[in-house]
């Protein structure tokens, strides 16, 4: 038995921790960080399957690179939106992000 199961379990732990952070944290920066943690868990899965999957290939590595680029773009846009919001409402509490609801 290879270490594949252990890698997948670690990725599941990280994904669930990130999901818990996204669902419960009120600070928008911590929510963005938890999202990054979830994306990293997915990347770990991709790289683990690239080595220990049935047909080892480098496609998993390439998907990992693409995921990292998308995550970087997402973080940049997220922080920009956060700063614009902070300028208008002087808070970073995600409970206050309710302009579309009112």
Partner 1 sequence: MFGLNLDVTGELAAFFILAVCAITGAVMALNLTRVIHSVLSLAFTFISLAGLYVLLGAEFAAFVQVLVYVGAVTILMIFGIMMTRHDHDSQERPRPFMEALAGIGCLALFGILFFNIRGTDFPAPSGTLPEDNVGELGRLIFSGFAIPFELMSVLLTVAFVGAVMLARREEDDLP
The vertex-73 CA angle with 70 and 75, nearest 5°, equals 110
**Under rule CB under 8 A, residue 79 binds partner 1:** yes
Helix H or strand E encompassing 50: helix 28-52
Token readout for 10 is 């670690």
- Per rule CB under 8 A, count of chain residues that contact partner 1: 74
**Under rule CB under 8 A, residue 93 binds partner 1:** yes
**Under rule CB under 8 A, residue 42 binds partner 1:** no
Write down the least CB distance from residue 29 to partner 1, Å.
5
Write down the least CB distance from residue 99 to partner 1, Å.
15
**Under rule CB under 8 A, residue 73 binds partner 1:** yes
**Under rule CB under 8 A, residue 16 binds partner 1:** yes
Token readout for 66 is 């693409």
**Under rule CB under 8 A, residue 7 binds partner 1:** yes
CB 38 within 8 A of CB 23: no
CB 56 within 8 A of CB 65: no
């Amino acid at each position: 038995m290879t270490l594949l199961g252990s890698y997948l379990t670690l990725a599941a732990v990280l994904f669930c921790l990130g999901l818990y952070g996204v669902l419960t944290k009120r600070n928008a920066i911590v929510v963005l960080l938890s999202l990054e943690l979830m994306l990293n868990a997915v990347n770990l899965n991709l790289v683990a399957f690239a080595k220990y999957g049935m047909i080892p290939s480098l496609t998993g590595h390439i998907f990992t690179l693409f995921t990292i680029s998308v995550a970087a773009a997402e973080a940049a846009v997220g922080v920009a939106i956060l700063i614009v919001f902070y300028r208008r409402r002087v808070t970073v509490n995600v409970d206050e992000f309710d302009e579309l609801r009112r």
